[in-house]
Structure 1
């Protein structure tokens, strides 16, 4: 386990928390350059779980800023959003904050899972909390469920992009189907 990031194994994480924060901040720079509210809204939507993993209080403030878009000039809105985004991304995620995000994600497809799948999911989350699994491994297991449930909102989250353990993902999964001889 990595002492700086106890929820990651060094071999499983090729990017640092600083890289992740820098990536998110740079994407916001793209939003600022576009100077369009729809891009700001899309950014906020795609980064909800990422920001939640870093700072749930700041996420709520950012949501309120986006909701107030008709009340203040857009340039002020961008500046205020950027200030709170940087505060959020400066805070390091913990096992607890990642667990909270995973439980929120679980809520999106809870109704699509049978009892055994729910039990397996919660067991995997417990293993993450105990340090036996990484966040990347958990997200790797969740990712197919988001596609099975056709949840484009979850699939578009930068949280999956930046934390999933994609090194171990294969598009060619073995099947149990035997060809006729």
Structure 2
């Protein structure tokens, strides 16, 4: 049976739709060729959404003492700020009901850019802004994995983004139609090693939150855990943290492995630590030992397979 695709938002131009000011697009081959078999895309172009034509005059963000505004580049009297903000809030409110699990936005865009967007003031442009639509998106849905198309060419950022997307999907699937504290606690148990790799301090904080679940009503606990978990997973798993997790897993096999097997596993972990081998090498050996010496806790850890392995994202880590 084919797995259900994960639903994420995306800037229309990144999908190859010809919606840019010059009737062009910014198609991402990674998105359209490698991710499309796994993800269901919700395409949004804010400019088209507020009724601007294709092609159209260019627009940009400007700043004065009062506010950031979205205006036409050659005629600042043509101000689209209010219509863009209205569209952004209405669209994001709708998307938040759909349980999106991620969003890929177009870099540098005055509506969709995630960071370092040009903001013009006093005839000077500072790369300090966020696209007007994306700023609303990230403010209203702070737990949502958001990434720019260009940054997805970086293997570490790419792997981190996809991990977060699938983690959020797993969270929603685990909660089902009714959220219970027990479901959150069970979910947390499966992600303990992932949290140790991504953010050890948040691993401890979320552990305390889960331990004190009875102090919160269910909705408050759900919201607090989702945000804390997704912010922790946003931090990239470092080689040092991954090594600590691998050594932690190694301890589970002490009484099963013979001297040679222990030495082999220790060597592979150390060669990952020093950058000789990719993360995939120790994980493959560990999965082999789990199949040989079953351990329910380890077998359930999403750290070992956070997304479909066919995506091949850990080959370069």
Range of TM-score over shorter length = 0.7 to 0.9
Larger CA Rg, structure 1 vs 2: 2
Structure-2 residue corresponding to 1:103: 247
Give the conservation status (yes or no) of the 8 Å contact 1:135–1:163. Answer: no
Aligned residues: 159
**Secondary structure of 1:63's match?**
helix
Q: Which runs of 5+ in 1 are unaligned?
A: 7-14, 169-181
Structure-1 residue corresponding to 2:306: 162
Give the conservation status (yes or no) of the 8 Å contact 2:166–2:306. Answer: no
Give the conservation status (yes or no) of the 8 Å contact 1:55–1:91. Answer: yes
- Alpha-carbon offset, residue 29 of structure 1: 2.7
Q: How does 1:1-181 map to 2 (within 5 A)?
A: 5=156, 16-32=159-175, 33-162=177-306
- Partner Cα distance (2:266, 2:187) in 1: 30
- Partner Cα distance (1:86, 1:164) in 2: 19
**Secondary structure of 1:112's match?**
coil
- Partner Cα distance (1:144, 1:84) in 2: 32
- Alpha-carbon offset, residue 167 of structure 1: 8.9
Compute the TM-score of the two structures, normalised by the length of structure 1.
0.78
Instruction: Give the strand-richer structure, 1 or 2.
Output: 2
Instruction: Give the helix-richer structure, 1 or 2.
Output: 1
Q: Which runs of 4+ in 1 moved over 6 A?
A: 163-168
Q: Which has the higher contact order (CA 8 A, sep 6+)?
A: 1
- Output the aligned Cα RMSD: 2.5
